[in-house]
Amino acid sequence: MKIAPMSVSVVAGAMLSTLSMSASAEMLWSSFSLTYLNGSDYEVGDPDRQVVTVEHASGHSWGDNFFFLDRLESDNGNSENYMELSPRLSLSSLTGNDLSFGPVKDVLLAGTWESGEGFDNFLAGVGVSLDVPGFQYFNANLYRANNDKSSNDTQLTLTWGLPFSLSDAEFLYDGFIDWTTSESDKASEMNFTSQLKWNAGKLIGTKAPVYVGVEYAYWNNKFGIDGVDERNPALLLKWHF
């Protein structure tokens, strides 16, 4: 399936603008981490897999950016890579006007490039950063997706991070929800994946968190395949640098 040139240009333009502005704009924060997952209830392919994830997130005066790369190793010997690059450009920064209102801290142009084994999907849309009490961050993006191997669809993505403490123990509950529309060749998907993590770094004296916990994937109609529902808990170890 051919990808619509206009949508590709929107996403490509956002990514190029992000790269060019990052050279001169102020970085407000950044995070780099490595994650190891081990689960036994994956759907579509071998149910037993190990996943190593490289992840980087950063906030800038022009907006924010998120990148991750998964290396999946199955017990049957199969392996694959999957990555996403998701820059967002602040309309407040671009226009010079404060666009915050109510719980909305900013309105942003949002883009994502998804790339896996033999496919590339490009998503373009709009997002908001929300001020939700107690949450470190809470974001919502609405995309129109140009998919390489299936019909184009509309996607809503929510992401959040909720830190909390129990006595002296520090925890983080974070994750995402992806919901997509149904199309002629696929069912509507709902992927609710979250992680509950305890910061064990305090015990070994590291400044950056070292998390131990569990990830749980609740994914209906995985990859748009009607009736393929994944319920997968996975042990998690995550190092921040």
Would you put residue 11 in left (φ > 0), alpha (ψ -120 to 50) or beta? alpha
DSSP structural state of residue 186: B
The range of the structural domain enclosing residue 169 comes to 5-240
The confidence score (pLDDT) of residue 30 equals: 95
CATH of the domain at 137: 2.40.230.20
Burial 115-153 (b: 16+ CB within 10 A, else e): bbeeeebbbbbebbbbeeeeeebbbbbebbbbbeebebb
What is the number of structural domains in the chain?
1
One digit per residue, pLDDT tens: the chain, 241 residues?
333 444 444 444 545 454 455 445 789 999 999 999 999 999 999 999 999 999 999 999 999 999 999 999 999 999 999 999 999 999 999 999 999 999 999 999 999 999 999 999 999 999 999 999 999 999 999 999 999 999 999 999 999 999 999 999 999 999 999 999 999 999 999 999 999 999 999 898 898 999 999 999 999 999 999 999 999 999 999 999 9
Supply the pTM of this predicted model: 0.89
The confidence score (pLDDT) of residue 7 equals: 44
The confidence score (pLDDT) of residue 8 equals: 45
The confidence score (pLDDT) of residue 25 equals: 72
